Amino acid sequence: MRYTHAMKRKLRAGVFLVAAVVFGLVVTQTRAENAIAERYVEGLIATAVEILSDTNISDEHRQTAFQNFLADNVDMRRLPAFLLGQYARTPTDEQKADYLNLLQEFMTRIYLVRLQQYADDAITVTGSRDRKNGREVVVTGTIQLPNRAQPLSLDWWLLQQEQDDGTFDFHVFDVRVAGIWLAQEQRSGFVSVIRNNQGSFDALLQHLRKQIDSQASAHAQ
């Protein structure tokens, strides 16, 4: 079958129309995912502030609530391996189990102390940008500190995680404060500990225990 010039024009027009519809659907879906991601982060902020500023609970209950908050919202399927860098395959099964337990307690104690410093500061979500068709979204925001004229930038790197029922929920993979990604900074620290101890994974476990004990002692004083 030979195509006439008019038929070719109609065919091209049809292709462009389909492409425009598909692109429009993708853009619409991406915007919807980004809006969900922004609302998710706003919920995170509200929950964290509530936990950190509640004067009616004990420090022990606050720590438990914050630990549950991290467990529910941090991407603990991918983050632990990421923090080990090139040493992700180094630990034995027993060491890996110890590492996961210590990491959870380490994150709870370290970030509880850090975030309590900002519990009364204004954090605002300002927008978001898509990564990988909505499966990854970076939500942008600011935090206004009382001793600074200009707010600091905040970014939340969210990854979608498949749940047991087949649905997908966002979880936090990393947070950037004033241009510094915290998980990437932490990975550099963990990798340095292992490298400086001839590749010993036990050295990292000991390092985590010391950090946890140090925070516990400081909190007890």
Write the secondary structure of 110-151 as one string of H (helix), E (strand) and C (coil). Answer: HHHHHHHCCCCCEEEEEEEEEECCCCEEEEEEEEECCCCCCC
Judge if pTM exceeds 0.75.
Answer: yes
Q: How confident is the model at residue 221 (pLDDT cuts 50, 70, 90)?
A: low
pLDDT at 32: 75
Instruction: Report all structural domains of the chain as residue ranges with CATH numbers, in order of start.
Output: 5-220 (3.10.450.710)
Query: What's the rounded Cα separation, in Å, for the pair 220 and 198?
Result: 34
Higher confidence at residue 46 or residue 3?
Answer: 46
Please, which residues have CB within 8 angstroms of residue 201's CB and are 6 or more apart in sequence? 87, 90, 91, 92, 95, 99, 194
pLDDT at 34: 87
Phi/psi for 166 (5° steps) reads 90, -10
Nearest to 155 by CA among 132, 139, 131: 139
Dihedral (CA of 104, 110, 114, 119) sign:
positive
Say if residue 153's pLDDT is above 90. yes
96-118 tens-digit pLDDT: 999 999 999 999 998 888 888 77
Cα distance between the two ends of the chain = 88
- Would you call 55 helix, strand, or coil by DSSP? coil
Contact (CB, 8 A) for 203 and 193:
yes
33-87 tens-digit pLDDT: 788 999 999 999 999 999 998 989 998 999 999 999 999 999 999 999 999 999 9
Say if residue 161's pLDDT is above 50. yes
Looking at this protein, which amino acid is placed at residue 7? Answer: M
Give me the chain's average pLDDT, please. Answer: 85
Looking at this protein, which amino acid is placed at residue 214? Answer: S
pLDDT at 23: 37
